[in-house]
Amino acid sequence: MSAAALVLILIVVTLAYQINLRERIEAFGGTPDLNIILLVFLSLSYGRGAALSFGFLGGLFLDALAPHFLGATALLGSVTGYLLGSLKAKLLIENPWVRAGISVAIFCLWEVCLILLYPSSSPGSFGNYLGGQLFPCAVYTYLAALLFFWIFQKRGEASS
């Protein structure tokens, strides 16, 4: 399977997850954020062009689903994709543990930025949000990212 076909399949699966499955598989108040995992993957694998495009389009799509101002997640996705893609040559990181950690760090930064932009969208206090929703989502994002990057590392080792 070509790399372009694989990326297209990953994008479709990620968007289908965001639309249909994310609310259904919630456990302990959180779900993994596949959009950010795929953004980190595209940034570190294909560079800033692919990551910038996916960051903008994926963010715009998520903005259309969310009940807040259109464009904030698209802007965050574009900036994140561009910056991570620009650092691709400097971040020659193949370790799935580290890539998963980058995914969680970006997830947490995104959530804090969105809370600062839309303080009325987070229920309760900031501390309750951090412990009740952000922490479980960060853990699930880390575990999903670790599995995702490990599978792609093994796939790369098998093809070489």
Residue 14 lies in a domain: no
* Cβ proximity of 74 and 63 under 8 Å: yes
Q: Poorest-confidence range of 56-70, 94-108, 114-128?
A: 114-128
The residues near 75 (Cβ < 8 Å, ≥ 6 apart) are: 59
5 lies in some domain: no
Structural domain contains residue 6: no
| Geometric angle at alpha carbon 26, from 37 and 94, rounded to 5° | 20
What's the pLDDT at 112?
82
Do the beta carbons of residue 44 and residue 37 sit within 8 Å?
no
| Beta carbons of 109 and 95 less than 8 angstroms apart | no
Please state, in angstroms and rounded to a whole number, the distance separating the CA atoms of residues 46 and 81: 10
Q: Cα–chain-centroid distance for residue 36?
A: 1
pLDDT at 88: 76
The β-bridge partners of 27 are 30
pLDDT digit string, tens, across residues 82-114: 988 888 777 667 788 888 988 999 988 888 887
Confirm whether 25 is domain-assigned.
no
Cβ atoms 56, 72 nearer than 8 A: no
Find the domain containing 121 and state its range. Answer: 32-159
> Is residue 16 domain-resident?
no
Q: Is residue 10 part of a domain?
A: no
Count of domains observed in the chain: 1
Judge whether 86 lies within some domain. Answer: yes
116 lies in some domain: yes
